[in-house]
Amino acid sequence: MELAGFGRNVVHVDLDTGATRTRPAPEEWVAKYIGARGLGVRYVLENGPQVDPLSPDNLLCFFNGPLSGSEASMSGRWACVTKSPLTGTVTDSHQGGWTAARLRWAGLDGLVFRGRAEAPVYVFIEAGQVEVRDASEVWGKGIHATVRFFQERYGPKDLSVCAIGQAGEKRNRFAAWLNEDDRAFGRGGTAAVGGSKNLKAIVIRAARRKSQVADTERWKQVRRQALDTIRDEKNITAPRKGGLSVYGTNVLMNITNTIGALGTRNSQQTSFEERAERISGEYVEEHILVGNPTCHACPVACKKAVEIREGPYAGLKMESVEYEPAWSLGANCDNDDVASVAKLIDQCNDFGMDPIELGNVFSMYMEATEKGFVQGPGLAWGDTEAMVALTEEIALRQGVGDLLAEGPARAAEKLGHPELSMTVKGQAVPAYDPRGLKGMGLGYATSNRGACHLRAYVAAAELGVVPGEQDPLEWRGKGELVKTFQDLHAFSDSLDLCKFSAFAEGPEEYAAQLAAALGRDFGPQDVMDAGERVYNLERHFNNLAGFGAGSDTLPDRFTREPSTHAGSKGHVSELGEMLAEYYAARGWEEWVVPDEKLRSLGIL
């Protein structure tokens, strides 16, 4: 597979007719937007920002980046890009596992779906060929059963299955694609777009193939340098030694709890106090951990497989109790039962839903129940049995589940209490309370896909794990910091390397690997410039889609209700001050990218 020719093998699938056609991506787009996230956004922009996300006219793109599935470390990532039915923004979500690698080994760089099949279909990909096939036998099945079905049909060897579950079929607005049972395109409701197109799965059969690169010797050298950085014991990525490798992402639970940045009971509190320990990475490692799975070309192995041995969920084996769902379905819902958290995550993995959004819709509904805004029984804090039952109703849009499947923003609006929805641009907040990590709050507000921790993961600086430590409670300086992190991550998402590579690597390593693979003259400044271009491209899409005044915001709870606990006690988010800094750093006229800026970046 020739990395240097990245972008030549993009297959367009017209689901109206079942026709497929290979068309190279425009060279200019690949040069400017790199791949994966950036390239996908460019296609979605070309399709038009006004499109109804659940109409046949919406484009559903799956793109590798130029390094996806290569021998580069942490390269098992690809992107799903579309206009989101949850937010109305452009959205991209990224998935680990081996599907990205198998797409590359099958000889393809990306898939672009448009239209709507008359009946359920899946695509089967092998040796560069894409065929649209009948999926009526698996329609209505969950992810796990769908994966088994295709493994039985085609044999498990060299096979990847990326599918939607019942939630996507029912157009749940936070439905997620999953591959190989448990690696998700988690955010933005991309699987609802799949469901609206009657597209059930992408099935790829491909054996491992070595990458052909422009400069073989240099490629080996720069990959080795990047790997050495990842393995460095000073970094949290160090295999079996660093915190991320040993405990997974859930190593964060105790530190955010300690500093008062762990939203609890729908963010009415900023700490889960002593109960946080029982849902933490340390607790999981000590009590229920049974394995450390990994993704393609990743020595970190941050995934954590668990087995529940007692209680109502005894016998459950699943991966992975990540920090985000452990928070959203745990502390956020006043739930310290880690077994139920594992059960709920596995339900999300099977029905195909985003657990961050699910936890937030629960906590919104719980607070509404507590305050008497719900007619009927509602949902009590920490009622895990009811949460498990309601998860199925939400996935299948049954009963009140039909309302909650709209996501917390729409559901709270319909309940008459939008103030209970902890969302930005319609997408729920993740696990870092903006009153205790102020840069993260600015990152949520200015994220182009709605509240997101990964667009600008400035927690790395605010928790002091990368050079340039920043006081988490200081708002000054966060505008420039957030911009820099957003640009860097827009680039790594376009390569597409795992976001966690940035705990060890930086613009130098990214540029060197891209240059060696593609034979392009590319340096660290080009990394930041390309990242900035992608970020502005997304913002341009959103502006054209109607996002304007006031859309970069946070729920009032974070700007008006002071933190209740620990180091951040008494603090609110100084969002207005941070936004002024941020827009100045971006060169935006508040929330809008001016044409002059777009021209300077080569977008117009």
Chain residues in the site for another protein (CB under 8 A): 234-236, 241-244, 246-252, 254-255, 258-260, 277, 281-282, 302, 322-324, 453-454, 457, 459-460, 463-465, 469, 471-474, 499-500, 503, 565-569
Residues 6+ apart with CB under 8 A from 297: 69, 70, 71, 72, 73, 74, 75, 76, 101
107 and 1 in contact (C-beta within 8 Å)? yes
Q: What Rg do the C-alpha atoms of the chain give, in angstroms?
A: 22
Distance of CA 91 to the CA centre of its chain: 9
Of 223 and 571, nearer to another protein (C-beta) is: 571
The least CB distance from residue 286 to another protein, in Å, is 9
The least CB distance from residue 493 to another protein, in Å, is 12
Of 13 and 490, nearer to another protein (C-beta) is: 490
The least CB distance from residue 21 to another protein, in Å, is 37
507 is written with which tokens?
């613009």
The least CB distance from residue 513 to another protein, in Å, is 21
Residue-wise DSSP of 266-287: TTTBS--GGGGGGGSHHHHHHH
Residue-wise DSSP of 6-47: TTS-EEEEETTTTEEEE-PPPHHHHHHH-SHHHHHHHHHHHH
590 is written with which tokens?
């508040």
The least CB distance from residue 191 to another protein, in Å, is 21
Of 25 and 459, nearer to another protein (C-beta) is: 459
Q: Work out the number of other CB atoms within 10 angstroms of the CB of residue 362.
A: 28
Q: How far lies 319's CA from each of 24, 293, 395, 566, in Å?
A: 37, 8, 20, 31
The least CB distance from residue 255 to another protein, in Å, is 5
The answer to whether the Cα torsion of 411, 415, 416, 421 is positive or negative is negative
Sheet with 60-63, edge to edge strand ranges = 19-22, 10-14, 110-114, 60-63, 78-83, 90-95
Of 322 and 367, nearer to another protein (C-beta) is: 322
Of 252 and 394, nearer to another protein (C-beta) is: 252
Of 54 and 456, nearer to another protein (C-beta) is: 456
Of 183 and 499, nearer to another protein (C-beta) is: 499
440 is written with which tokens?
């993260």
Of 192 and 326, nearer to another protein (C-beta) is: 326
The least CB distance from residue 258 to another protein, in Å, is 5
The least CB distance from residue 423 to another protein, in Å, is 19
Q: How far lies 392's CA from each of 197, 330, 341, in Å?
A: 22, 18, 15
352 and 379 in contact (C-beta within 8 Å)? no
Say if strands 289-291 and 129-134 run parallel, antiparallel, or are unpaired.
unpaired
The least CB distance from residue 431 to another protein, in Å, is 9
Of 110 and 330, nearer to another protein (C-beta) is: 330
Rounded Cα–Cα distance for residues 6 and 559 (Å):
45
Rounded Cα–Cα distance for residues 553 and 325 (Å):
23
583 is written with which tokens?
């827009």
Of 195 and 248, nearer to another protein (C-beta) is: 248
Of 6 and 432, nearer to another protein (C-beta) is: 432
The least CB distance from residue 504 to another protein, in Å, is 11
DSSP state of 210: P
Question: Which backbone phi and psi does 79 adopt, to 5 degrees?
Answer: -120, 145
Rounded Cα–Cα distance for residues 384 and 334 (Å):
10
The least CB distance from residue 444 to another protein, in Å, is 14
- Of the candidates 66, 12, 75, the one whose C-alpha atom is nearest the C-alpha of residue 35 is 66
Which element (helix H / strand E) includes 291?
A: strand 289-291
Of 118 and 469, nearer to another protein (C-beta) is: 469
What is residue 91's three-state secondary structure?
A: strand
The least CB distance from residue 465 to another protein, in Å, is 5
Tokens 């940045």 locate to 261
Tokens 């390397």 locate to 497
The least CB distance from residue 259 to another protein, in Å, is 5
Of 454 and 515, nearer to another protein (C-beta) is: 454
The least CB distance from residue 595 to another protein, in Å, is 34
Of 304 and 557, nearer to another protein (C-beta) is: 304
